[in-house]
Amino acid sequence: MSTIIVEKKGGIHVIKLNRPEVLNSFNREMSLALQDTLKEAGADDSCRVIVLSATGRAFCAGQDLSEAISPDGPGIKKIVEEHYNPIITLIRETPKPVLGMISGVAAGAGCNIALACDITFAAEEANFIQAFSRIGLVPDSGGTFFLPRLVGMQRAAAFMFSGQKVSAKEAAEIGMIFSCESASKLEEKVMEYAAQLADMPTMAFAYTKKLLNLSMHNDLAGQLKEEGKYQELSSQTSDHHEGVMSFLEKRRAVFTGK
Ligand code: T3D
């Protein structure tokens, strides 16, 4: 059985982690397959939004600990450098919006992958656990980069030191994720949202995403300069022309993502 399932629905690629018997914890095969799938979706012009999701009751329990301790396994250095770092870089650098659809627990690297998505939705039943301290490790997969920026240093430190469960409701209230939904409505809400974004100007989203990434470490002067550069690039897209013409002609814009 494939460790990653891809369902293509219109301009939306739904990518599902698929090792439900171990709560979709990552082994090398699934890590590399996720990287390939993210690369494909990023390069495919027909894909305008990516939804990252999972099968079974969990989103992802992080690293498969059996593989982590196996003498025949890749070892911790490769696990971080060849599995998680490229996944996080791909999520941030793919020129498509990545929506996280988190239906159950997201722990360890699974939690930080959920936080690296552009917009994360979770079911009420889901929870987020910085599980690393429970096994004597430090957070990886960008957790120490994203979490303090999302919720502040105090909460990030508390969640990381304690390894406590943060409910989806609390996560949404404190800005750690975008939205908490009832389990029965999660998929419908995310797919509705994705469909809306898939009909919008994809190139402008790609440039917006670049700007948001840059804002993580730029000063205001540097960021204003980058905004000028990407605004000029956006103004050269067909979708910008279509957006302006549709406004002037008082009709609905038809964006092609170009
Ligand atoms: O080399 C390195 O390690 C570096 C990489 C680090 C990145 C990381 O992600 S480190 C963090 C690794 N993850 C964890 O420590 C989380 C481990 N899992 C849990 O703490 C719990 O499973 C959960 C809190 C996530 C969920 O608890 P619960 O009670 O809902 O489920 P469960 O009964 O613990 O798990 C169900 C099954 O999944 C169970 O197998 P079984 O008994 O039915 O045969 C369990 O062993 C398996 N499972 C869950 N998490 C993992 C796992 N198997 C392997 N690795 C896992 N991470």
Is the separation of the CB atoms in 129 and 107 below 8 Å? yes
Predicted confidence at residue 221, as pLDDT, reads: 98
Protein residue with its CA nearest to atom 40 in ligand 1 = 22
Listed residue (137, 95, 124) closest to 112, CA to CA:
137
Reported as a single tens digit per residue, the pLDDT across 123-181 is 999 999 999 999 999 999 999 999 999 999 999 999 999 999 999 999 999 999 999 99
Reported as a single tens digit per residue, the pLDDT across 82-112 is 999 999 999 999 999 999 999 999 999 999 9
Reported as a single tens digit per residue, the pLDDT across 189-241 is 999 999 999 999 999 999 999 999 999 999 999 999 999 999 999 999 999 99
Instruction: Indicate whether residue 235 lines ligand 1 (CB < 6 A).
Output: no
Distance 106 CA to ligand 1 centre (A): 10
Cα-based angle 190, 166, 170 (whole degrees, multiple of 5): 65
DSSP E strands in the chain: the ranges are: 4-9, 12-17, 49-54, 98-102, 106-107, 119-123, 127-129, 165-167, 179-181
Instruction: Indicate whether residue 112 lines ligand 1 (CB < 6 A).
Output: no
Predicted confidence at residue 1, as pLDDT, reads: 84
Predicted confidence at residue 103, as pLDDT, reads: 97
Q: Hey, is 155 helix, strand or coil?
A: helix
Instruction: Indicate whether residue 25 lines ligand 1 (CB < 6 A).
Output: yes
Distance 244 CA to ligand 1 centre (A): 51
Q: Mean pLDDT over residues 19-44, rounded?
A: 98
